[in-house]
């Protein structure tokens, strides 16, 4: 297993936000975590990205215990995050934003090749490489955020609500891109409120509610469960 999360507890000050979550992601998989607003999805994914301290439980990546690894070293281990809200430097050019993803020596050495890969995946970004990122459309900005993550040559990419705020017409494109990221060799952990799409691309999925994993399985199985049909699929 590439990523192993066991009985993870995460909180803010005295307030617990995730209680005993367990999940796995294997190489080559797309795994989705679905759940309502405030369920703890961002908290969980930020802890896996190294941005939040784990209180209790296990967090292993490729066998390594990540609990005491410093946040900036998660990247060197091969974990990259496409954060909620994209977090680009809007006044910097597209290419400068992409280059922020490869500050590590190994990634820096492969900079030219990685840029070619990102521009191969997103040809529109090559055309706009010298434009300020803030001038791009929402979908194109999301491509920059994904491209920046790929510049670190990650083994897993964590996506937090990649379709949020995108025009409906390009939401499908975003999910196609996620599949292409997986096909390019990185595993994917995807957190989404767009349940149908998230289940549609996933090999396996977990349901997070009020900080707890309430169900998991292959999407076809989950979609037959009455609670999931009612709460998430509106049937
Ligand atoms: N920085 C913070 N300080 C204190 N509490 C927080 C903080 N961030 C989140 N929380 C709380 O932790 C819980 C989980 O929040 P989280 O953002 O992880 O949920 P989410 O599933 O990502 O929700 P959303 O769908 O709105 O993105 C919520 O009760 C939230 O209020
Ligand atoms: Mg969130």
Contacts for 108-116: CB closer than 8 Å, 24+ residues apart: 110/153, 111/151, 114/150, 114/151, 114/153, 115/151
Cβ–ligand 1 distance for 15 under 6 Å, the answer yes
CATH number of 3-78+155-232: 3.40.50.300
Cβ–ligand 1 distance for 17 under 6 Å, the answer yes
- Sorted by sequence, the CB contacts under 8 Å of residue 124 that are 6+ apart come out as 140, 143
Q: Please tell me the distance between residue 127's alpha carbon and the centre of ligand 1 in angstroms.
A: 37
Whether the per-residue pLDDT at 103 is higher than 80: the answer is: no
Q: Please tell me the distance between residue 140's alpha carbon and the centre of ligand 2 in angstroms.
A: 21
Of 128, 132, 104, which is closest to residue 118 (Cα–Cα)?
128
Q: What is the CA radius of gyration of the chain?
A: 17
Quick one: average pLDDT of 89-112?
86
**d(C-alpha 96, C-alpha 133), whole Å:** 9
- Sorted by sequence, the CB contacts under 8 Å of residue 117 that are 6+ apart come out as 150, 184
> Which of the four pLDDT bands, split at 50, 70 and 90, describes residue 179?
very high
DSSP label at 52? S
Instruction: For residue 164, count other CB atoms closer than 10 A to its CB.
Output: 16
At 205, give phi and psi (nearest 5°).
Answer: -145, 155
Residue of minimum CA distance from atom 31 in ligand 1:
38
pTM: 0.94
Beta bridge mates, 159: 82, 190
Rounded alpha-carbon distances, angstroms, from residue 79 to 50, 68, 97, 174: 9, 15, 18, 20
Helix (H, G, I), strand (E, B) or coil at 102: helix
Index of the ligand 1 atom closest to the CA of residue 84: 27
Index of the ligand 1 atom closest to the CA of residue 46: 18
**d(C-alpha 208, C-alpha 213), whole Å:** 4
Q: Please tell me the distance between residue 160's alpha carbon and the centre of ligand 2 in angstroms.
A: 7
**d(C-alpha 9, C-alpha 20), whole Å:** 5
Whether the per-residue pLDDT at 235 is higher than 90: the answer is: no
pLDDT digits (tens, 9 = 90+) for 12-36: 988 999 999 999 999 999 999 999 9
Residue of 13, 15, 38 with the most ligand 1 atoms within 8 Å of its CB, for mutation? 38
Compare 235 and 3 and report the one with higher pLDDT: 3
Cβ–ligand 1 distance for 37 under 6 Å, the answer yes
Cβ–ligand 1 distance for 38 under 6 Å, the answer yes
The domain locations on the chain are 3-78+155-232, 90-153
On whether the CB atoms of residues 28 and 179 are closer than 8 A, the answer is: no
**d(C-alpha 223, C-alpha 5), whole Å:** 24
**d(C-alpha 149, C-alpha 81), whole Å:** 6
Whether the per-residue pLDDT at 49 is higher than 90: the answer is: yes
Whether the per-residue pLDDT at 104 is higher than 80: the answer is: no
Half-sphere exposure of 25 (CA within 13 A, CB side): 29
Whether the per-residue pLDDT at 107 is higher than 80: the answer is: no
């Amino acid at each position: 297993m590439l990523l192993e999360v066991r009985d993870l507890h995460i909180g803010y000050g005295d307030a617990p936000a995730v209680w005993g979550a367990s999940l796995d992601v294997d190489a080559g998989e797309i795994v989705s975590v679905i759940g309502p607003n405030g369920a703890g999805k961002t908290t969980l994914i930020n802890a896996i990205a190294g941005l939040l301290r784990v209180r209790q439980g296990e967090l292993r990546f490729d066998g390594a215990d990540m609990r005491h690894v410093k946040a900036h070293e998660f990247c060197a281990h091969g974990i990259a995050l496409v954060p909620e809200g994209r977090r680009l430097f809007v006044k910097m050019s597209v290419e400068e934003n992409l280059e922020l993803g490869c500050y590590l020596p190994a990634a820096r050495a492969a900079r030219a090749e990685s840029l070619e890969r990102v521009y191969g995946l997103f040809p529109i970004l090559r055309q706009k490489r010298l434009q300020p990122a803030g001038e791009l459309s929402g979908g194109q900005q999301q491509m920059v955020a994904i491209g920046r993550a790929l510049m670190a040559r990650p083994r897993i990419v964590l996506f937090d609500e990649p379709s949020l705020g995108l025009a409906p017409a390009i939401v499908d494109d975003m999910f196609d891109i996620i599949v292409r990221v997986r096909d390019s060799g990185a595993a994917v952990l995807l957190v989404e409120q767009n349940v149908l799409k998230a289940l549609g691309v996933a090999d396996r999925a977990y349901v997070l509610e009020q900080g707890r994993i309430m169900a998991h399985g292959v999407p076809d199985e989950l979609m037959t469960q009455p609670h999931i049909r009612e709460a998430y699929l509106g049937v």
